[in-house]
Amino acid sequence: MRISAVTALGYYDLASVAGIEDARRAAVQSISFDGRLRVLDRAQAPFGLTLSVSPHWGFVDETSGVRTDHYGTEVELLADRELKRDQLVGAVNFLFANDRAHLLPSDGVQHESLAGAGTALAAQVMRGVWLGGEMRYLRDYSGSALNVFAGQALYVGPTLYARLGGNAFVSASWNSQIWGGTTSAPGALDLANFERHQVKLRFGLEF
């Protein structure tokens, strides 16, 4: 079992997006705690299986950057399998999340939920360095339990994982929305509920 804390930082550069005010600023998006329980170890089972539960508290809306007071929980089921020993790894993930947001400039309260699935493949190109790609499909809903469909998005992009010495690592991913749609506006992408690009960079130190 592993427990960790996370602070998410965001930078918003929004212009001419339907239903969203123009903005250009940086902000602390949220803080969260991630509890992970390894149900199956892939070294001893046909595949690895991990349950992740992450409560979070947020300060700005992730898409629009508007100040909010929101909280919720993200639950993930993460499965992975070593397809070729020390050379190739595949993964399949499933996601459910909900969030309750109070928009501070007004008195409105919004309930939102999210469901999704993803798959990834990574190969070790040199000792301690893994390159791969991933694809994720996400669906956004109004209501705390997937009540009313609001939009969807498909992301694809590359991933990187590298060991930095004996006890440090870095991981990075860049996902671009290549397809989507929303019930509130026409278009081939959903930029009202999801970002156009999602970039993650993580440094870790094991001790």
DSSP string for the chain: -EEEEEEEEEEEEE-S-TTS--EEEEEEEEEEEEEEEEEE-TTTSSSEEEEEEEEEEEEE-TTT--EEEEEEEEEEEEEEEEEETTTEEEEEEEEEEEEEEEETTSS-EEEEEEEEEEEEEEEEEETTEEEEEEEEEEEEEETTTT-EEEEEEEEEEEEEEEE-SSSEEEEEEEEEEEEEEESSS-SSS-TTTS-SEEEEEEEEE--
User: Please, what sign has the CA dihedral across residues 189, 176, 50, 3?
Assistant: negative
Radius of gyration of the chain (CA): 18
* pLDDT tens per residue across span 113-135: 999 999 999 999 999 999 999 99
pLDDT of 8 strictly over 90:
no
pLDDT the model gives residue 19: 76
For 17-21, 104-108, 173-177, which range has the lowest pLDDT when averaged over its residues? 104-108
pLDDT the model gives residue 104: 63
The backbone torsions φ and ψ at residue 63, rounded to the nearest 5 degrees and listed phi first, read -90, -50
Q: CB of 141 within 8 A of CB of 113?
A: yes
pLDDT of 111 strictly over 70:
yes
What is the average pLDDT score of the chain? 92
How many CB atoms sit inside 10 A of residue 58's CB? 20
* pLDDT tens per residue across span 44-64: 999 999 999 999 999 988 777
**pLDDT above 90 as % of the chain:** 65
Pairing mode of beta strands 23-40, 197-205:
unpaired
Residues 93 and 204: their CA atoms lie apart, in Å, by 22
For 27-31, 46-50, 100-104, 162-166, which range has the lowest pLDDT when averaged over its residues? 100-104
Q: Does domain 2-205 have CATH number 3.40.50?
A: no
